Amino acid sequence: MELQLAGKTAVVTGASRGIGLAITQALTREGVRVVGAARTITDGLEQAGVTAVPADLSTPTGARTVIETAIAETGGVDILINNVGAGDVDRLTLGGFLDADDQQWRDLFDLNLFSAVWAARAALPSLIERRGVIINIASINARVPATGPVGYSEAKAALVAFGKRLSEEFGPQGVRVNTVSPGPVGTGIWRDPDGLGAKLAASYGATHEDFLADLPTMFGIASGRITEPEEVAALVTFLASPAAPSLTGADIVIDGGTIKTV
């Protein structure tokens, strides 16, 4: 399928690894000029052939700087991918509601919701002019709020609602806004020895290796496997393209059949 993306410009937040890096690489292969933003510029991002911008997206200044840099470098923004999210594992409490303090709530909302709010606010004048696209990367945790660190699911649920609001307000001006909600994805969050997966494994008294092997069963994944970053990137690339003109205001789940409700 010809996606007609060549020559367009995109900003991808959280672009240094995992889903963000896979999206960056997929868009670049389609001829998109990408500005990739991340707190830390990794070798993978440097090698992706993009304009890499170091920034803390959990702050208004960081998010605004990324968009301003992108517009200065490329002349305007056609596609905004609000991918940055999750949180620093060493700062997350894995207990219940009464164990999580206000700072955890603020940190998770700043990174998982307000980063998208700030980036969208800065980018929308250009996106309106170019009849562009916003794609927010949420999570199935928005639909299963009893799992994950306290505050994370709630922030992702707010992000889904935010995307719907934007689609309603700016759809008549030619801007399409969609949300992609992955289930467990094979990134460092689960696979790194110091990531969330390893921390959860330790809390269950299991080895990291055994925990990863049991993950599809634990989550009830119908496909029997977790999703890979490249699969999410392929979906995002399609949604960003002119090949999906009627897809707006949607929250598209990509989870291997984890969510069982209709």
HSE-CB of 254 using CA atoms within 13 angstroms: 21
DSSP 3-state of 86: coil
C-alpha–C-alpha distance, residues 155 and 164, integer Å: 14
Catalytic residue among 118, 152, 190, 211: 152
Residue 121 to residues 20, 22, 38, 145, 200, Cα–Cα distance (Å): 20, 25, 18, 27, 36
Q: Residue 127: which region, alpha, beta or left (left: phi > 0; alpha: psi -120 to 50)?
A: alpha
Is 204 a known active-site residue?
no
Angle 25-41-59 from CA coordinates, rounded to 5°: 105
Q: Which two tokens stand for residue 16?
A: 């240094």
The string of DSSP letters for 92-149 reads ---S-GGG--HHHHHHHHIIIIIHHHHHHHHHHHHHHHHT-EEEEE--GGGT-TTSSS
C-alpha–C-alpha distance, residues 182 and 168, integer Å: 23
C-alpha–C-alpha distance, residues 167 and 162, integer Å: 9
- The end-to-end CA distance of the chain, in Å, is 30
- Quick one: DSSP state of residue 80? E
List the catalytic residues: 152
